[in-house]
């Protein structure tokens, strides 16, 4: 999954995990905007590949089209146009992609008029800055960007901040975090990511993708509402991963649900990232050991932030929760416990669509 050419051999299990998470997110994201009545919706696959692997397993561009097909009747009813922007630098791959996409569209007669596809063959960076101005000029349309780079170089600080400035734009990017860890000392590496070697824990190499994601989070100004969360993917001794970015809590809520479905202990990895017995199904006699470390830490941090007055409202509880990579149901358990223990007064909670909750102040019991 690093700098190897993924299209010269069958996709690995880990590549398929990556593509499935991407596809599930598009499937959860797209209907939100179809049902809200947006007439144009943009999806960018900046590193689109050939379309399929050697075994005919579909890659990201075809998966996007499959998702669109699932919503055929809604798209027709709402008269939405989905604009797909695919890009691939390699000439043979882009030719193959064009042929495969054409063949796919021919089978989608009913919805053909509602899909517009542009296929580019450009350096990502060049294409991104060329189209950025027109994106800013049409900033109200919903957009989703997939940056399935090889390695680590493409999502620079500048690119992340440019994307974070856009309204209604969610992004998932791939990054080879083990590679970032290994080369973090080199000066040439610092030109792309300014993560120093000390950020990575010697004892926890499998946390590299969490560390890399924290670096990206640190680039966002403190006063900006913006959510970034990782999903680590391990292959042999290396850790890669996806980084999800959104300015809307509903985006991260949807992404986190996908992660927690895949991993009910931490929600952020395709493996036992915290090296816990419970994740391997070994239950302890001591009840507290049967709660994943991440959830124990979450409970301590959330309860303390509430009681110290660092979190002021129910909305803030959920922002804190998403930033921690947890779900509303995890937060609700903590808050209900504080209520039961008489530490705070009853407060309105929700288990989904937290952006719709009526904001209420937390009242600490005297």
Ligand X SMILES: C[S@@+](CC[C@H](N)C(=O)[O-])C[C@H]1O[C@@H](n2cnc3c(N)ncnc32)[C@H](O)[C@@H]1O
Q: What CA–CA distance (Å, rounded) separates 216 from 212?
A: 7
Shorter beta-carbon distance to ligand X: residue 150 or 272:
150
Of 299, 321, 313, 335, the C-alpha closest to 253 is: 321
Helical packing angle, 249-262 and 13-35, nearest 10°: 140
**Token pair 């999903």 in the structure block, residue:** 231
Can residue 47 be called a binding residue for ligand X (CB under 6 A)? yes
Angle at 124 between CA 51 and CA 14, to 5 degrees: 45
Alpha-helical segments (H) within the chain: 13-35, 60-70, 72-78, 91-106, 124-137, 157-165, 177-183, 187-190, 208-218, 249-262, 293-307, 314-323, 328-340
Give the span between the Cα atoms of 365 and 135, in whole angstroms. 49
242 near 18, Cβ under 8 Å? yes
Rule CB under 6 A: is residue 2 a binding residue for ligand X? no
Q: Which stretch binds ligand X (CB under 6 A): 44-52, 74-82, 292-300, 325-333?
A: 44-52
Q: Counting contacts by CB under 6 A, is residue 302 touching ligand X?
A: no
- Does 255 bind ligand X (CB under 6 A)? Our answer is no
Residue 26 vs 362, nearer CB to ligand X: 26
Least distance (Å) between residue 113 CB and ligand X:
26
Binding span for ligand X by CB under 6 A among 47-55, 191-199, 257-265, 345-353: 47-55
Q: In angstroms, rounded to a whole number, what is the distance separating the alpha carbons of residues 30 and 74? A: 11
Give the Cβ contact number of residue 357 at 10 Å: 18
Site string (88-117) toward ligand X, x via CB under 6 A: xxx--x------------------------
Closest CB 47 distance from ligand X, rounded Å: 4
150 binds ligand X (CB under 6 A): yes
Residue 24 as a binder of ligand X (CB under 6 A): the answer is no
Identified binder of ligand X from the candidate list 23, 27, 148, 268, rule CB under 6 A: 148
Question: Is 241 an interacting residue with respect to ligand X (CB under 6 A)?
Answer: no
Residue found by looking up tokens 């947890």 in the block: 326
161-190 binders of ligand X (CB under 6 A): none
- CA atoms within 13 Å, Cβ hemisphere of 85: 18
Stretch that binds ligand X, among 24-32, 85-93, 279-287, 344-352 (CB under 6 A): 85-93
Footprint of ligand X on 118-147 (CB under 6 A): 123-124
d(CA 42, CA 254) in angstroms, rounded, equals: 18
Distances in Å between the Cα of 180 and the Cα atoms of 187, 206, 211 are: 12, 12, 10
Q: 88 or 268, CB closer to ligand X?
A: 88
User: Cα separation of 68 and 43, whole Å?
Assistant: 11
Any contact of residue 60 with ligand X (CB under 6 A)?
yes
Among 84-92, 194-202, 338-346, 352-360, the segment contacting ligand X (CB under 6 A): 84-92
For ligand X, the binding residue among 49, 142, 230, 267 (CB under 6 A) is 49
What is the nearest approach in angstroms of ligand X to the Cβ of residue 39? Answer: 27
Task: Closer to ligand X by CB, 52 or 315: give it.
Answer: 52
Shortest reach from residue 352's CB to ligand X, in Å: 30
- Interface residues with ligand X (CB under 6 A) are 6, 19, 47-49, 59-60, 87-90, 93, 123-124, 148, 150
């Amino acid at each position: 999954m690093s700098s190897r050419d993924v299209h010269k051999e069958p996709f690995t299990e880990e590549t398929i995990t990556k593509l499935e998470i991407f596809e599930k997110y598009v499937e959860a994201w797209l209907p939100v905007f179809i049902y809200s009545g947006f007439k144009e919706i943009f999806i960018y696959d900046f590193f689109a590949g050939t379309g399929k692997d050697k075994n005919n397993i579909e890659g990201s561009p075809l998966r996007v089209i499959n998702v669109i097909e699932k919503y055929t009747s809604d798209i027709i009813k709402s008269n939405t146009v989905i604009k797909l922007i695919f890009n691939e630098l390699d000439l043979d791959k882009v030719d193959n992609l064009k042929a495969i996409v054409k063949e796919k569209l021919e089978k989608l007669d009913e919805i053909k008029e509602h899909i517009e596809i542009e296929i580019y063959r450009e350096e990502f960076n060049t294409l991104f800055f060329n189209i950025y101005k027109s994106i800013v000029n049409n900033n109200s349309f919903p957009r989703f960007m997939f940056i399935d780079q090889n390695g680590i170089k493409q999502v620079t600080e500048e690119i992340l901040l440019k994307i974070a400035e856009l309204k209604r734009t969610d992004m998932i990017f791939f990054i080879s975090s083990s590679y970032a860890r290994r080369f973090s000392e080199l000066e040439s590496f610092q030109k792309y990511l300014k993560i120093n070697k000390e950020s990575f824990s010697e004892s926890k190499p499998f946390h590299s993708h969490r560390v890399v994601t924290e670096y990206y989070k640190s680039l966002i100004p403190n006063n900006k509402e913006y959510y970034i969360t990782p999903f680590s993917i391990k292959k042999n001794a290396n850790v890669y991963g996806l980084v999800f970015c959104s300015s809307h809590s509903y985006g991260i809520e949807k992404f986190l649900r996908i992660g927690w479905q895949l991993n009910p202990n931490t929600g952020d990895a395709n493996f036992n990232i915290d090296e816990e017995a419970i994740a391997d199904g070994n239950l302890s006699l001591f009840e507290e050991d049967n709660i994943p470390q991440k959830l124990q830490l979450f409970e301590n941090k959330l309860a303390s932030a509430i009681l110290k007055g660092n979190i002021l409202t129910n909305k803030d509880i959920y922002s804190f929760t998403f930033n921690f990579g947890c779900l509303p149901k995890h937060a609700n358990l903590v808050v209900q416990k504080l209520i039961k223990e008489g530490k705070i007064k009853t407060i309105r909670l929700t288990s989904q669509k937290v952006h719709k909750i009526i904001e209420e102040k937390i009242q600490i019991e005297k």
